[in-house]
Chain A
Amino acid sequence: MRKRFFRPFWSYDVVKTEYWLNRMSMSGLRLNNVNFKTRFFSFETAAPESLIHRVIYQKGFGGNVPPGLLAAGWGSAVSGGNFSIIRHDAGADPTLNPSYAGLLVRNRRLKQIIGILLAVLLGMFCAMVTANILIIALLTSIAGPATFVADDGPTAVQILQICLIVAAVLLTFAWMIFTYFRLRKANSQLERLCGDNLNLNVPATQDILLPRREEKRLLRSKKLVRKHRRDWTYEPDKTEQWLEAMEKKGLNLYRLSPTGLTFYFWKLGPRRMKYTVDYQNQAPDAYFTLNRDAGWKLIYRGGRRFMETSIWVHEIPPDSPAPQFYSDAESRLKQVRRFIVANFLGLLLPSLMFIFVLCENVFLLNTLDPLNILSLLLMIFLILQLVFSLSRIIRYYFRIKKN
């Protein structure tokens, strides 16, 4: 006998779904098939058994359970597209377990996309509302409130159409907001489960962050030095060389300010250190563990959105070549290309949107009042800023390509 259950939001809390499947198998329902598109879970009646289920997500999986997991005692329950569900007897204790990392990466990307869409839609909505209010206010002040009496009112059909469109828009909006917050909750849960025993909140060379008072005292006695640097994220190779030159002068990087614009250095003495400024788009914990195990120390991690910047430092052992973060020229160039694409998206698109909105404001009212002039100046400033940043990024690309 078959039983089907509809679970449209099953992927928002995977652990809850797994526990649900465990309970189902204990009450005599064995998972048979899942249609991941329609979100229907099919069960067949069977003898009650104690099973542990796990959901795996791996892009391009094709549902082939890796041989290592099969050998460790897992059995395939359902596979389709990028998702798979595997299970084993509650009594058995497999040596290898599937990882939640694939699902976490997918959820983070999804949340990122939805977040951007929400921001864009909200921005457009606000711009439309303010523009409409301005137009109405302007026209009523000139022509009087009588301007808005229409010749004949809108027909019933038109009202219905507008209502349907508004309802559809509101529903989509609500679903996106719901998904965004559910994903945020799910991701923090998955991050805890992924583990890897990381502590990413205290990145400092000596692995200690001094209290503020101590830092102020050291700044006054010149044992701690502060330096500002703008746009260092757009030329990572120059930043690396600058930090290494600082080390040779006896200034050792201690930490960065939370805004990422100020560098703090100890004045301890020259060291031979290799710095790497790297970018990742929401890398899972495995990225940080791998680099840490290879001897790199994380000093700074910031700038979440499209690209997370991280500054790593490694000691150069005496009589040894400097360790390379990217030992392969091809992989380095690929990384640089990804950096450029993400920066273009992160810089160009929002700037273009700002400039577009400003253009609309400037050319809507054709008079030269102070508000217009201010908007024009702001637009010019933004365009210049954009051009400078983009030119730095492009020059960086050609510098790396030459090597």
Chain B
Amino acid sequence: MNAEKQIKNYLPMTETAYYILLALHAPLHGYGIIKYVEELTLGRIRLGSGTVYGTLSKMQKDQLIAVYTDAGRKTVYEMTVLGRRVLALEMERIKKLYADTVSQEGYFHA
């Protein structure tokens, strides 16, 4: 169905898409997303505004996020139910990936 198609499209997720969805656990403005990700990753990831705009537009078409305006008529983005589901699946995948990394790390130390 539609949801399955999105899941196949978005898993595994690009780092950009993943961090954008992480930021959107609460509704945010576009620039708020960039600031949130920069603070969360301690400056490691500085999302470009062009990239964020393109990814947000694509996610909106794929129904992963919804758009509204707040009191000041600025655009606010929020995750939909489908978006949360896709993010949860990706987080599970990353957790498994991390567990395997930790368990196999020993083989790669000199």
Contacts and interface: CB of A to CB of B under 8 A. Distances in A.
A323 B46 contact: yes
Interface residues of B, number: 38
Given A59-B61, A197-B73, A325 B80 contact: no
B70 interface: yes
Contacts of B68: 66, 68-69, 96-99
Nearest to B34: A294
Interface string B56-84: 00001111001111111111101011000
B67 A58 contact: yes
Q: Which range holds the interface residue count of chain A? A: 35 or more
A95 interface: yes
A286 interface: yes
B69 A331 contact: no
Contacts of A115: none
A296 B60 CA distance: 24
A286 B48 contact: no
A132 interface: no
A187 to B, nearest CB: 17
A299 to B, nearest CB: 15
6 contacts: A61-B63, A102-B67, A294-B49, A323-B48, A324-B46, A327-B46
Interface in A315-333: 323-328, 330-332
Contacts of A59: 60-61
Nearest to A295: B49
A294 B31 CA distance: 6
A156 interface: no
A326 B51 contact: yes
A67 B71 contact: no
A257 interface: no
Contact of B66 (A68, A285, A289, A290): A68
